[in-house]
Amino acid sequence: MNRVQIFGIVNLTHDSFSDGGQFLAPHAAIAQGERLLSEGAAGLDLGAESSNPAGQRVTAQTEIERLTPVVHHFKQMGATLSVDTYKPEVMRAMLALGVDMINDITSLKDPQAITVLRDYNVPIVLMFARNRAPRAEIKPQSHQDLIPTLLAFFQERLDTLTQQGIARERLILDPGMGYFLGSNPAPSLWVLKHMQQLHTLGQPLYLCTSRKSFIGTLLNESPNGRAMGTLATELWAMAQGVQYIRTHEVKALAQAWTIWQAITEVSD
């Protein structure tokens, strides 16, 4: 069976779409991270700026100030940490503190980010998004030709980054979900249905469907009522060979995947 790493989401923000303000204080973020690790997370994904359409931009210094005490705490514990940022200054500061992975929703669009990451041999998540700014957009989109578009985008990023000194084996691909693909459900559902085609690029795949808009639309649920819909999409993705799942609901996913594996691995 596919070996999957579950990363628990900790948003150190005041305006994330489902938990804004809950974990902005360092002690709250630390408590949440410790809970997610105890529930089975292989690592934590820490973000200090929201990418939702209504989110406010924050400076690199603000991100660094929010992240630093939390990163210090978890690195002292020996936890695996990913930082969700597109800012080169934040990447450099967090990598200097020992962060294990960078998750960039702009796929290293900033050339300075490439310069920073040449100096650190850590995995990098490259995310596809139809919007050009580091914010999701509320805009219905077609799902036609989406898979070829994703494949072409990622092939370009792989070629460009390897030519600029980033080893290909460091690169992990995230097809984006929810508003990053379109405000209607069809694009996200289409990518999930055709996830196998992304394996043709030969890179590990990373996915976050957690509490996303398309689940809310289909179920008519607010973000905090989307746990069961989220779990269904995550199990589907894991069964399709996705190696990394980023989620708010670590315990439910870890337990469900344990049972899924037990069923598939039972001897005849």
45 SS3 class: strand
Q: What is the pLDDT of residue 21?
A: 81
Q: Which helix (H) or strand (E) holds 231?
A: helix 227-239
Look at the pTM and tell me if it is higher than 0.75. yes
Mean pLDDT of the chain: 94
pLDDT tens for 199-212 read 999 999 999 999 99
% of the chain at pLDDT higher than 70: 99
pLDDT tens for 134-176 read 777 888 899 999 999 999 999 999 999 999 999 999 999 999 9
Long-range CB pairs of 110-119, under 8 A, 24+ apart, other chains included: 110/86, 112/88, 113/86, 113/87, 113/88, 114/161, 114/164, 114/165, 114/166, 115/88, 116/88, 116/91, 116/92, 117/91, 117/166, 118/164, 118/165, 118/166, 119/95
- Integer Cα distance of 49 and 60 in angstroms: 9
Which string of DSSP letters, residue by residue, matches 178-189?
A: GGGT-SSHHHHH
Evaluate the CA torsion angle 151, 152, 155, 157 in order and state its sign: negative
Residues in the chain, how many? 268
Mean pLDDT of 230-240: 97
Predicted confidence (pLDDT) at residue 1 exceeds the cutoff of 60 = no
Phi, psi values for residue 81, rounded to 5° = -125, 135
Which domains, ranges and CATH numbers included, belong to the chain? Answer: 5-262 (3.20.20.20)
- Quick one: tokens of 247? 């989620």
Residues 6 or more apart whose CB falls under 8 angstroms from that of 167 comprise 121
Strands (E) in the chain, as ranges, are 5-11, 43-47, 81-84, 101-104, 124-127, 171-174, 206-207, 244-247
20 SS3 class: coil
Contact 80, 42 (CB under 8 A): yes
Mean pLDDT of 178-197: 97
Which residue in the block uniquely carries the two structure tokens 């980023």? 246
Q: Which helix (H) or strand (E) holds 36?
A: helix 26-38
Contact 128, 113 (CB under 8 A): no
Q: What separation, in Å, do the N-terminal and C-terminal C-alpha atoms of the chain show?
A: 16
